[in-house]
Amino acid sequence: MRTILFAGLLAAPVLFQGALAATVRADGLIYWLPADGTSVRYDTELTFIDNGQEQTRKGSLTISSVGQTTVDNEKCRWIEFRSVLKNDQGEQIMIAKCLIPEKDFGEGQVAGRAHDSWLD
C-alpha cells in the first residue's frame, strides 16, 4: 500500500479545503495534463490523535481530469478529487472539483486561480 503524507493533513476535510483554497500547488500531484477520463488512485492511511487515543483510518484518494472548457479565452480543466475514508460506520466519501487554467499546471507551477470550485 502506498502511504500519502500531507504536511498538516489531519483529516480528509482539510484536503478539500486546500483543494478549494485560493492557491493550490500542482507539484507532486499533476505535472502534465492527461486525457479526460484519466485518473490516478492512491491508497491512504491516516493516523491521528482523537481524545488522547491514536486512531488509524484507511481509504483512498482519486484525482481525475473530468472535463475541459474555455473561460476568458483560457483553456481550463475540471480536476476532481475523490476521497474515501473508511471508519467504524462505513465509508465517508467527499468529492471536490476545481476548474483550473491549463497553463497553471506543471512542475513548479502554482494553480493560483480556480475559475470555479465545487464540494460535495
The answer to whether position 57 is within a domain reads yes
Instruction: For residue 40, give the 3-state DSSP assignment.
Output: strand
In which residue are the cell numbers 499546471 written? 105
At residue 15, the pLDDT reads 44
Mean pLDDT (whole number) for 97-106: 84
Instruction: For residue 50, give the 3-state DSSP assignment.
Output: strand
The answer to whether position 74 is within a domain reads yes
The answer to whether position 110 is within a domain reads yes
Which strand ranges, in their side-by-side order, compose the sheet holding 39-50? 39-50, 53-71, 74-87, 90-101, 116-119
The answer to whether position 82 is within a domain reads yes
- The bridge status of strand 24-25 relative to strand 110-111 is antiparallel
The answer to whether position 54 is within a domain reads yes
The answer to whether position 68 is within a domain reads yes
Distances (CA, A) of 24 to 3, 20, 29, 30: 21, 8, 11, 11
| Domain tally, the chain | 1
Between residues 62 and 25, which one has the greater pLDDT? 62
The answer to whether position 62 is within a domain reads yes
Query: What's the CA gap between 33 and 103, in Å, rounded?
Result: 10
Q: Residues with Cβ < 8 Å from 93, sequence gap 6 or more?
A: 82, 83, 84, 85
Q: Which three cell numbers stand for residue 120?
A: 460535495
Q: List the domain range (segments joined by +) for residue 75.
A: 12-119
Kindly report, residue by residue over 2-61, the tens digit of the pLDDT: 333 232 333 344 444 444 444 444 444 566 677 888 888 999 998 999 999 999 999 999
Query: What's the CA gap between 96 and 17, in Å, rounded?
Result: 9
pLDDT averaged over every residue in the chain: 74
